[in-house]
Amino acid sequence: MLLPFILTAFLGATAALAAPQADDGNTTNLQPICATNANPHDIAVIEQVVENDKTTMKDLEDLELGDLSDEEEDEDVDDAAHYNPNHMCKKIYKKIRTIKIHWHNVAANNTREGGYLKKKVILKQVKYIQKIYKKACLRFYLKGVNHIYNADWFNNVAPGSPQEKALKTQYRHGDELTLNIYSVGLVSTPGLLGYSTFPWNFADDPHNDGIVIHYATVPGGDYPHYDEGAVAVHEVGHWVGLLHTFQGGCSQPGDFVSDTPAESTPAFGCPKYRNTCASTGSDPIHNFMDYTYDKCKTHLTKGQLWRLVKILKIFRKLIRHH
Ligand SMILES: *[C@@H]1O[C@H](CO)[C@@H](O)[C@H](O)[C@H]1NC(C)=O
Ligand SMILES: *[C@@H]1O[C@H](CO)[C@@H](O)[C@H](O)[C@H]1NC(C)=O
């Protein structure tokens, strides 16, 4: 399919988790923010492609995504052979490929505060990603972990930086369906938790593809309120093509997902109730694509799961036709 390749030339490069810059440089009260660079025009173009693809998705339409039981929750994600998707997913597993993860652990030194992550911790993070995305019948497999000692990269891999380019150029592995995760310190960008490329960026800039996260956001990390692994789940959301729940504010079509109510601005903390738009439904504060604390985030909706499968099919060759 030629269209995506043409389109990517026009599209913004990253969904960045960018910190707001305080005017006086005082970063004490910065709220971690995930600001996306995808502009509404680009998103509309992508949406057109997704819409046009509808007729070819017939073989997936019977699948009730999101209805998987949790029975294989404790599966060993480190061992592909042990993965046992329920029979509903087997129907499409015949045709889809596993998403391999290459984890690049960039550290200043081999201490925890220097960014060093033990394999056990990385596996916990992968397991959390697996738990959420298996509802879209996806399987993630940790293929390898690289420990990279580089203080400059640890401190300065900000979106669009020369350090980001150097790191990714040297270490990115695999094709469009290979997830490269870079854990770094993001020291020079306080408040930044991570950022990701979108699937539609791949053709134009394959080396840039992947997600970057703050090392302390992994399960058992020590980033205040963002230390249970939901940041990586959120960034993987962008990597599979999801937008923020507050994309476009209260105006339609927002995030292009019909079962995530519109939200005028990101939500922080874990509010008991929040409703910032006149349209039906209160704000999706428990959704992984909002900015609430990790403990507040619980799910992706069926609409999001359905959409990401379609986008992966179009832009990351998720399904191989025989
Ligand atoms: C930064 O802001 C916080 C809260 O507003 C304040 O308590 C602190 O004194 C400020 N720090 C500096 C260096 O201005
Ligand atoms: C390791 O790196 C971190 C972050 O730069 C630093 O705070 C810490 O002092 C370093 N520890 C050692 C033992 O060099």
DSSP labels, 265-287: S---S--S----SSSSS---TTB
- The protein residue whose alpha carbon is closest to atom 14 in ligand 1 is 26
pLDDT band (50, 70, 90) for residue 310? confident
pLDDT score for 184: 97
pLDDT band (50, 70, 90) for residue 90? low
Task: Classify domain 33-39+90-242 at the CATH topology level.
Answer: Collagenase (Catalytic Domain) (3.40.390)
Ligand 1: nearest atom to the Cα of 24: 14
List strand residue ranges (DSSP E) for the chain, in order: 14-17, 35-36, 99-107, 140-149, 178-184, 194-197, 211-214
pLDDT score for 94: 59
For residues 141-164, average pLDDT: 96
- What are residue 110's phi and psi, to 5 degrees? -90, 30
pLDDT band (50, 70, 90) for residue 169? very high
Domain ranges across the chain:
33-39+90-242, 244-299
Question: What residues contact residue 183 under an 8 Å CB cut-off, 6+ apart?
Answer: 103, 104, 105, 106, 115, 117, 212, 213, 214, 215, 218
Whether 229 shows a pLDDT value over 90: the answer reads yes
CA dist 280 and 275 (Å) reads 9
Q: State yes or no: is 61 an active-site residue.
A: no
Reading the block at residue 293, the tokens are 């604390």
User: Whole-prediction pTM value?
Assistant: 0.83
Q: Return the minimum-mean-pLDDT range out of 22-31, 161-170, 175-184, 284-293.
A: 22-31
**Is the omega angle on the peptide bond into residue 253 within 30 degrees of 0, that is, cis?**
yes
25 CA → ligand 1 middle, Å:
10
